[in-house]
DNA sequence: ATGTATTGTGATTAACTGAGTGAACGACTG
DNA sequence: CAGTCGTTCACTCAGTTAATCACAATACAT
């Protein structure tokens, strides 16, 4: 039926609204009101699969949130705000929540975070790994060594590298694809590319990161079945900090050797 | 005790995390990990008031969300991402959700929204009223007449007025305080201030809005008990659209008379 | 004016998620 | 080898939310 495409949009909208904190009835009612424009409880009940007697509660929940207006006629009429306004609304709500959260967390965040550690931590998920990489780069004082493949050099990481470079941190990027090299010729003028120790073309690829010779991260892409849909759990990394950390020690040795090698071949 | 200020931050952080979709245990565990830095299940259980046997589940929930890393040692060690990274994380998550939502809603949003209507809608809450005002101003084609007090002329509304002005809509602002007049001398060059019909200084104040002589909104501030804490339910508005709408008709009459009066006294 | 149909409000019940507890298994240590 | 600690799993209980029903109020029609 012609409802099929819109019914998909309908269910995704309901899902998102629920994840944003609305009850199922309220979410369904809101979606119905968006499509109907102006409607009575009966109309909503017919379209949204919400018991008619519950539409009033759902609409009230929505009204308290400022998502729906009510016409005090008989029968009552309901009206949903436009999708743009909905976006603005949740944007404000979200900003408020996140800023409250980060404020509170900042007040708790202890200083004893980047001390010496033994052993290594594991991270799964590409976004989570990217977060750690950005953390490390942002905290760099002297030097960042980053071996990666173009696929994993996102804008966010580029920005972090640029910022670090601006603060006088020396950036060493390895095994960049052409397009990436072009990009970072602009973005990170101070980046000094060097030849990678390994040939990544055959491996499933991943990244190597060393910051200030005391924080290191190693990741591999683990495309489980097929690499067609970018799986959420498609990257796993281990990382460790501290000059005596075993992972740091071994990577420092490798990188130091490799970088010296590189400098020699460049006639420095 | 010295814990008191931080325990407040603790509970607000937990609240926000829960509202962002985490379970109570997960939220408490995360907050404990942020303060502890690196900790075992026992440490978390002691500080966070989470049953020790449940710390593992909570940490797993957090790990799947990319908020916590795990060291596979014995005993297991947990580590929480920094507050800045937490902010970035939820920002991304939120952006994804809201864009998915607005996409879906746009696909549903029916065109039959701004047709002729009888009767008026009611809105409560200052933010909700502001949303309607912005909606109206953004949809203006020819003319915006806005009578308000400085308190209710927020940046958002200023931006909306500026945008409308840029698109050739004539803006008529009334009863502006000096500072506001200054501001909109810059922001809205095309704004034509005019003398308000009423003296608002004694009333609880509110706003009047008419757009294209076919959409009108009237609001009053209803400071219930005291105006000291800006109550969330502190403004109530009614609005209606359509050239035959009763609220539109009466306000159009008032404004037309007033604006003509104003033009005469200015010698136009 | 009265009866009927429909709207609005409240109460009650059922189902489900999530918090809390305890038991059992496994690993490391003395 | 035994005991202790760490880890996981299974189960109970409570609170919340969905769903249904019953009743009151209003509007419309005859």
In sequence order, which ranges of chain B are alpha helices (DSSP H)?
3-19, 24-36, 41-48, 52-64, 83-108, 126-138, 155-166, 178-187, 246-265
B136 and B81 belong to one structural domain: no
A139 and A257 belong to one structural domain: yes
**Rounded mean pLDDT, B215-233:** 64
Backbone angles phi, psi at B75, to 5 degrees: -70, 155
Residue A34 lies in domain: 3-85
Residues A137 and A165: beta-carbon distance below 8 Å: no
A22 and A134 belong to one structural domain: no
Chain B CB contacts of A7 below 8 Å: none
Chain B CB contacts of A113 below 8 Å: 37, 82
Chain A CB contacts of B13 below 8 Å: 101, 104-105, 108
Q: Which nucleotides of D are covered by protein (CB under 7 A)?
A: 5-10, 17-22, 26-27
Question: Residues B6-41: pLDDT tens digits?
Answer: 778 888 899 999 988 899 999 999 999 988 888 888
A128 and A68 belong to one structural domain: no
Neighbours of A217 (CB within 10 A): 26
Strand partners, B151: none
Question: Residues B90-134: pLDDT tens digits?
Answer: 998 889 999 999 999 998 876 666 667 778 899 988 889 999 999
B76 and B176 belong to one structural domain: no
* Closest among B129, B23, B35 to B78, alpha carbons compared: B35
Chain A CB contacts of B28 below 8 Å: none
Chain A CB contacts of B112 below 8 Å: 37
Q: Is residue B188 part of a domain?
A: yes
C9 nearest neighbour residue (CA to C1'): A53
Q: Is residue B102 part of a domain?
A: no
Per-residue DSSP letter, A82: P
A119 → closest Cβ in B71, B102, B138: B71
D8 nearest neighbour residue (CA to C1'): B53
Count of positions (residues) in chain A: 268
Per-residue pLDDT tens, chain A, 268 aa: give them.
445 667 788 889 999 999 888 999 999 999 999 988 888 999 999 888 899 999 999 999 999 899 999 998 878 899 999 888 999 999 998 899 999 999 998 888 766 665 667 778 888 888 889 999 999 999 999 999 988 877 778 889 989 999 999 999 988 887 645 445 555 555 555 556 665 555 544 556 788 899 998 899 998 887 654 433 444 457 888 898 888 888 888 888 877 766 555 555 554 4
**Rounded mean pLDDT, B163-174:** 89
B165 and B260 belong to one structural domain: yes
Q: Is residue A180 part of a domain?
A: yes
| B188-191: long-range pairs with CB below 8 Å, 24+ | B188/B158, B188/B161, B188/B162, B189/B165, B190/B165, B191/B161, B191/B165
Q: Of the candidates B27, B61, B85, which is a domain's last residue?
A: B85
Identify the pLDDT of residue A267: 42
A142 and A190 belong to one structural domain: yes
Chain B interface, best mutation among A68, A101, A238, by max B CB count within 10 A: A101
Q: Which nucleotides of C are covered by protein (CB under 7 A)?
A: 6-11, 18-23, 27-28
- Residues 151-170 in A having a C-beta less than 7 A from any atom of strand C are none
Helix axes of B83-108 and A83-108: crossing angle, nearest 10 degrees? 170
Question: Residues B62-96: pLDDT tens digits?
Answer: 998 889 998 888 788 899 998 889 999 999 888 99
Q: How far is CA B71 from CA A117, A118, B28, B42, B222, in A?
A: 11, 10, 20, 15, 56
CB contact under 8 A, A122 and B69: yes
CATH of the domain at B134: 3.30.870.10
B74 and B148 belong to one structural domain: no
Q: Of the candidates A65, A85, A105, which is a domain's last residue?
A: A85
CB contact under 8 A, B101 and A16: yes
Q: Is the CB of B54 under 7 A from strand C?
A: yes
Q: How far is CA B148 from CA B30, B122, B140, in A?
A: 45, 18, 18
3-state secondary structure of A56: helix
B25 and B149 belong to one structural domain: no
Identify the pLDDT of residue B196: 53
CB contact under 8 A, A85 and B21: no
Q: Is residue A50 part of a domain?
A: yes
Residue A12 tokens, joined: 């995704």
The most distant pair of C-alpha atoms in chain B lies apart, rounded to whole Å, by: 87
A72 and A203 belong to one structural domain: no
Q: Is residue A173 part of a domain?
A: yes
A185 and A53 belong to one structural domain: no
CATH of the domain at A13: 1.10.10.10
* Sign of torsion over alpha carbons B150, B237, A45, B117: negative
* Sign of torsion over alpha carbons B180, B181, B187, B192: positive
B63 and B166 belong to one structural domain: no
Q: Please, what's the b/e burial string for B12-47 (b: 16 or more CB within 10 A of its CB; e: otherwise)?
A: bbbebbeebebeebbbbbbbbbbbbbbbbbebbbeb
Give A24 CA → C14 C1' in Å.
17
For chain B, the domain total comes to 2
How far does B63 lie from chain A, in Å, by closest CA?
A: 8
Q: Of the candidates B37, B62, B85, which is a domain's last residue?
A: B85
Q: Is residue A116 part of a domain?
A: no
Q: Is residue A52 part of a domain?
A: yes
Q: Is residue B227 part of a domain?
A: yes
CA distance B97 to B105: 12
Per-residue DSSP letter, A109: -
Residues A211 and A136: beta-carbon distance below 8 Å: yes
Give A4 CA → D25 C1' in Å.
40
How far does A207 lie from chain B, in Å, by closest CA?
A: 18
């Amino acid at each position: 039926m012609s409802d099929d495409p819109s019914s998909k949009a309908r269910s995704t909208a309901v899902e998102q609204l629920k994840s944003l904190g609305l009850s199922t009835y309220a979410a369904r009612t809101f979606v119905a009101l968006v499509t109907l424009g102006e409607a009575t409880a009966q109309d909503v009940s017919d379209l949204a699969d919400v018991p008619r007697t519950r539409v009033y509660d759902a609409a009230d929940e929505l009204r308290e949130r400022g998502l729906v207006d009510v016409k005090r006629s008989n029968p009552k009429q309901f009206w949903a705000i436009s999708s743009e306004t909905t976006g603005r609304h949740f944007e404000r709500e979200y900003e408020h929540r996140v800023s409250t959260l980060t404020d509170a967390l900042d007040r708790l965040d202890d200083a004893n975070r980047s001390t010496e550690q033994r052993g290594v931590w594991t991270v799964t998920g590409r976004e989570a790994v990217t977060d750690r990489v950005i953390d490390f780069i942002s905290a760099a004082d002297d030097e960042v060594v980053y071996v990666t493949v173009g696929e994993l050099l996102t804008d966010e990481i580029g920005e972090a590298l640029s910022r670090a470079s601006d603060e006088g941190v020396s950036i060493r990027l390895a095994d960049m694809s052409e397009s990436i090299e072009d990009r970072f010729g602009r973005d990170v003028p101070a980046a000094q590319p060097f030849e990678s120790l390994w040939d990544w073309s055959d491996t499933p690829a991943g990244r190597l990161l060393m910051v200030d010779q005391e924080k290191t991260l190693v990741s591999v892409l683990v495309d489980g079945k097929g690499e067609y849909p970018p799986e959420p759990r498609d990257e796993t990394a281990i990382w460790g900090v501290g000059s005596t950390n075993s992972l740091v020690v071994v990577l420092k040795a490798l990188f130091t050797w490799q970088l010296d090698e590189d400098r020699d071949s460049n006639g420095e």
